[in-house]
Chain A
Amino acid sequence: MTDTGSSRPRRTRSEATDHHPDPARPTPGTPPETPLGTPPESLFGPDSQFHRFFNDPRWALAMLRATVLEAAHPQIGAALIDNSTFVAHPWRRLRNTLVSLQRMFGPDEETRQREAARLNRLHARLSGTDARNRPYDAMDPQVRAWVVATLFESSVTMCRLGGQPLDQTTMNQLYAEFQALLAAFGDQAGHLPPTLQEFWQYYDHMVQEELESTEALRIILYKLFDHLPAPPLLDGLPTVWAAGRALAGPVIGAITVASLPEPFRRRAGLPEIPGAQTLMQSAYVAAGLARFLPDGWLRTENVTSLLFLSPDSDDPRAATLTALRGRMKRAGALFRLVTPFPAQHGPAEGAGPGRDAEEFFTAVLDQTGDGYLDWPDLAAMARELSSRLDLDEPAETKLYHAYAEWWRELQTALDTDGDGRISKEEYAAGVPSLAGPALIRVAEVLFSATDKDGNQFIDADEYRALFRTGFRRTVTGADASYSRSAFVKDFLSFMSGRERSTAFDPLLAEA
């Protein structure tokens, strides 16, 4: 990756750059104005076409397909490669996406407006240049239109491949819903063609002329599933997960490739695997059969909340889960103990409370998973924390600013070869200097953002908002609240990699 343009804070002030020289500030004027002619209520909410799809298991395949088509767009591909955490933290990314979609398509207009404004701010911070020095900008109207277009087209294709094509009326309604979705992002949102007929021309043009075989596309298709970390639910069962992944990964890849438009497959040089078409269609049909399951068995939100259920959470289901996981863990342990001496060369896990620099670098600091610590990694942390805490302006910008400051401090202290980013080795050599004044400032800002009522203590609800779990081992003492100094201290010892933390680990290290 080359040095990207405007989206990173610089050690020294650079030439006036095109968009926003300060990464911590979104473009002014992003909060969406109410779109002209507010869409009729039926376009969103529980009666919409979209809602019928949202709980359809085929939608998982369709979403993956849409993501691949998005990544094939040169600008989106570049933005993903530079900024996205989907390689290192795919499950967190998935959950954030689903929550976002639910808010955008939910019945509540105010929630939608807020979410749109949040997404606009988030995307306004994503711009730069790709490896070939072409600029990308997540706020580009064309880019945003394409994202919505892939979602729409993949939903339509999902029905077609599953053997239940949509009739024209339904398709028109669905298209109107997605147009309304795009409109909800405000005047910068870009535009889809006004009619469905023109949409297909636009879509074919994009597929045949604009899409490329981007690096992001290849990573999603060929790398992501080979290295996909286990979701929190299966975190304790690495062997089971790895076995399932080795089997399912290539299949999912093949299914996705086979479902892509033929002209694009040809142009991107994607392989034609014998039988993949049949496999792909069977997968869609089979997943479609799940509609005969009783209601509520496969609601997306239930499935995802289960996937993200970790045994430490205080969800009532967690007790059962913990028991089950405990049993499976013991079975796994016994299995490993009785199998004759396998040659294992992994690091000694769980040997002590500390963690070594390398592991911390991979698990926490390198959020984008490219092997380097760079501004997008820290921006991803700020992004994750902002969405956890559901921050509005100006708190969000404050947090980004604090992170940008910290980045400058880190760069000055650790980037010894001056290439603008910090490698694992540079980090390992300079670990002690990680906790400087700017990191303390990050902790302070994060505390203030979490302490919504400003009483200088994080109480139970505020704690839950940040960590998604109740007070547990982290907070000692009977008065269930977290003081500023204790919070800052814990945050520092976690962020400098000195100590594992039951609270902070799931926050930033979780897959």
Chain B
Amino acid sequence: MIDVIEAARTAGVEWLSLYAFSTENWQRPGSEVDFLMRLVRRVVRKHAPLLHARGIRCRFLGVADPRIPSPLARDFADLMTLTGMNRGMTLTVAFDHGGRRDIVEAARSLIRSGVAADAVDERHFAAHLPFPDTPDVDLVIRTSGEQRISNFMLWHVAYAEMIFPSVLWPDFRAPHFLECLHTYQQRDRRFGGVTPKANGEPHS
């Protein structure tokens, strides 16, 4: 994992999000969930100083379920505090995350703020999502040959490019990531319109 983070940072990626645990993952067997929680905690603690030294700002998206062990929640909070001022790459770890839940939460918060229905537009709505400064996702890499979005940052992936490498996540390393980046650079992003760039014009 740290390998991929490092590769992304060096390649100039400014926003990187990892999907660690979904709201639906709680349905897995208890022992597996426990193991995962311990693993995540070990990883977080092990890499915290390195992430900070590299100027990476870390955030955790989701993390609302009371089942999350409190020491882990504490570590998440600590890592966010520690790296909150960093302005290098922003690393968002989606943990106990569900794209639909975020949208529902945003709707709730919108209603609570008492805005008139007609005043709500996309920009306004997005401001109520968690971490409203998160930009739209450009590229989604779904490893292990699976081809579905699995409730991941639903609002932000509206115009994301998708890549589905068959390599399993534990084996996914820097070269794989760079390969995906390369594939992405070949893509022609039109956002529903005609191509914004004339033939032969270099992609920025």
Interface residues of A (CB under 8 A from B): 326, 329-330, 332-334, 336-338, 341-352, 476, 486
Question: Provided the pairs A330-B81, A330-B82 are in contact, do residues A337 and B45 lie with their beta carbons within 8 angstroms?
Answer: yes
Cross-chain contact of A329 among B45, B48, B81 (Cβ < 8 A): B81
State whether A347 touches B70 (Cβ < 8 A). Answer: yes
State whether B74 touches A348 (Cβ < 8 A). Answer: yes
- B161 at the binding interface (Cβ < 8 Å): no
Closest CB pairs A-B (n = 9): A348-B73, A333-B78, A348-B70, A333-B82, A333-B81, A337-B48, A344-B71, A351-B73, A330-B82
- B145 at the binding interface (Cβ < 8 Å): no
- Which residue on A lies nearest to B75, using beta carbons? A337
Main secondary structure of the interface of A (DSSP, over half): loop
Question: Provided the pairs A344-B70, A347-B70, A352-B64 are in contact, do residues A338 and B81 lie with their beta carbons within 8 angstroms?
Answer: no
State whether A349 touches B45 (Cβ < 8 A). Answer: no
**Min distance, Cβ A70 to any Cβ of chain B, angstroms:** 40
**Min distance, Cβ B95 to any Cβ of chain A, angstroms:** 11
**Min distance, Cβ A307 to any Cβ of chain B, angstroms:** 23
Cross-chain contact of A349 among B52, B64, B77, B85 (Cβ < 8 A): B77
Q: CB-CB < 8 A to A348: which residues of B? A: 66, 68, 70, 73-74
State whether B82 touches A334 (Cβ < 8 A). Answer: yes
Query: Measured between alpha carbons, how far is A344 from B114 in the docked complex, in Å?
Result: 40
Query: Measured between alpha carbons, how far is A344 from B76 in the docked complex, in Å?
Result: 14
Query: Measured between alpha carbons, how far is A343 from B69 in the docked complex, in Å?
Result: 12
Question: Provided the pairs A337-B45, A338-B48 are in contact, do residues A350 and B79 lie with their beta carbons within 8 angstroms?
Answer: no
Q: CB-CB < 8 A to B77: which residues of A? A: 333, 349-351
14 more A-B residue pairs beyond the given contacts A330-B84, A332-B81, A351-B77, with a C-beta to C-beta distance below 8 A: A330-B85, A333-B77, A333-B78, A334-B78, A336-B75, A337-B44, A337-B78, A337-B79, A341-B45, A344-B71, A348-B66, A348-B68, A351-B73, A352-B64
Q: CB-CB < 8 A to A342: which residues of B? A: 71
Q: CB-CB < 8 A to A352: which residues of B? A: 64
Query: Measured between alpha carbons, how far is A336 from B44 in the docked complex, in Å?
Result: 12
**Min distance, Cβ A473 to any Cβ of chain B, angstroms:** 11
**Min distance, Cβ A382 to any Cβ of chain B, angstroms:** 28
State whether A351 touches B64 (Cβ < 8 A). Answer: yes
Query: Measured between alpha carbons, how far is A508 from B71 in the docked complex, in Å?
Result: 28
Cross-chain contact of A338 among B49, B64, B70, B85 (Cβ < 8 A): B49
Q: CB-CB < 8 A to B85: which residues of A? A: 326, 330
Q: CB-CB < 8 A to A330: which residues of B? A: 81-82, 84-85
Query: Measured between alpha carbons, how far is A9 from B149 in the docked complex, in Å?
Result: 60
Q: CB-CB < 8 A to A476: which residues of B? A: 113
Q: Which of A342, A344, A345, A476 has the most CB of B within 10 A?
A: A344
Query: Measured between alpha carbons, how far is A279 from B70 in the docked complex, in Å?
Result: 42
- B129 at the binding interface (Cβ < 8 Å): no
- Which residue on B lies nearest to A347, using beta carbons? B70
Q: Which of B45, B66, B74 has the most CB of A within 10 A?
A: B74
Question: Provided the pairs A337-B45, A337-B49, A338-B49 are in contact, do residues A344 and B81 lie with their beta carbons within 8 angstroms?
Answer: no
What mask results when residues 152 to 190 of chain B are scored 1 for a CB within 8 Å of chain A, else 0?
000000000000000000000000000000000000000
Please, could you name 12 A-B residue pairs with CB atoms under 8 Å apart, sorted by A?
A330-B84, A332-B78, A332-B81, A334-B82, A336-B78, A337-B82, A338-B48, A341-B45, A345-B70, A347-B70, A351-B66, A352-B64
- Which residue on B lies nearest to A344, using beta carbons? B71
Which residues from 106 to 123 on chain B have a C-beta closer than 8 Å to any C-beta of chain A? 113-114
State whether B74 touches A344 (Cβ < 8 A). Answer: yes
Q: CB-CB < 8 A to B64: which residues of A? A: 351-352
**Min distance, Cβ A398 to any Cβ of chain B, angstroms:** 28
Query: Measured between alpha carbons, how far is A341 from B44 in the docked complex, in Å?
Result: 12
**Min distance, Cβ A263 to any Cβ of chain B, angstroms:** 50
Query: Measured between alpha carbons, how far is A350 from B75 in the docked complex, in Å?
Result: 11
Query: Measured between alpha carbons, how far is A352 from B61 in the docked complex, in Å?
Result: 11
Query: Measured between alpha carbons, how far is A181 from B140 in the docked complex, in Å?
Result: 74
Question: Provided the pairs A326-B85, A333-B79 are in contact, do residues A349 and B74 lie with their beta carbons within 8 angstroms?
Answer: yes
What mask results when residues 53 to 68 of chain B are scored 1 for a CB within 8 Å of chain A, else 0?
0000000000110101
Q: CB-CB < 8 A to A326: which residues of B? A: 84-85
Q: CB-CB < 8 A to A350: which residues of B? A: 77
Cross-chain contact of B52 among A332, A334, A345, A486 (Cβ < 8 A): A334
Q: CB-CB < 8 A to B49: which residues of A? A: 334, 337-338
- Which residue on B lies nearest to A350, using beta carbons? B77
Q: CB-CB < 8 A to B44: which residues of A? A: 337
Query: Measured between alpha carbons, how far is A471 from B64 in the docked complex, in Å?
Result: 28
State whether A346 touches B81 (Cβ < 8 A). Answer: no
What mask results when residues 21 to 39 of chain B are scored 1 for a CB within 8 Å of chain A, else 0?
0000000000000000000
Q: CB-CB < 8 A to A349: which residues of B? A: 73-74, 77
Q: CB-CB < 8 A to A332: which residues of B? A: 78, 81
Query: Measured between alpha carbons, how far is A345 from B73 in the docked complex, in Å?
Result: 11
Query: Measured between alpha carbons, how far is A344 from B49 in the docked complex, in Å?
Result: 20
Query: Measured between alpha carbons, how far is A4 from B77 in the docked complex, in Å?
Result: 44
Query: Measured between alpha carbons, how far is A486 from B70 in the docked complex, in Å?
Result: 34
Query: Measured between alpha carbons, how far is A476 from B110 in the docked complex, in Å?
Result: 12
- Which residue on B lies nearest to A327, using beta carbons? B85
**Min distance, Cβ A476 to any Cβ of chain B, angstroms:** 6
**Min distance, Cβ B3 to any Cβ of chain A, angstroms:** 20
Q: CB-CB < 8 A to B68: which residues of A? A: 348, 351
Which residues from 69 to 106 on chain B have a C-beta closer than 8 Å to any C-beta of chain A? 70-71, 73-75, 77-79, 81-82, 84-85
Query: Measured between alpha carbons, how far is A329 from B114 in the docked complex, in Å?
Result: 35
Query: Measured between alpha carbons, how far is A336 from B74 in the docked complex, in Å?
Result: 9
**Min distance, Cβ A503 to any Cβ of chain B, angstroms:** 15
Query: Measured between alpha carbons, how far is A336 from B45 in the docked complex, in Å?
Result: 9
Q: CB-CB < 8 A to B48: which residues of A? A: 334, 337-338
**Min distance, Cβ B152 to any Cβ of chain A, angstroms:** 21
State whether B70 touches A346 (Cβ < 8 A). Answer: yes
**Min distance, Cβ B79 to any Cβ of chain A, angstroms:** 7
Query: Measured between alpha carbons, how far is A486 from B48 in the docked complex, in Å?
Result: 42
**Min distance, Cβ B153 to any Cβ of chain A, angstroms:** 19
Query: Measured between alpha carbons, how far is A279 from B177 in the docked complex, in Å?
Result: 66
Query: Measured between alpha carbons, how far is A334 from B114 in the docked complex, in Å?
Result: 40
- Which residue on A lies nearest to B73, using beta carbons? A348
Query: Measured between alpha carbons, how far is A237 from B150 in the docked complex, in Å?
Result: 39
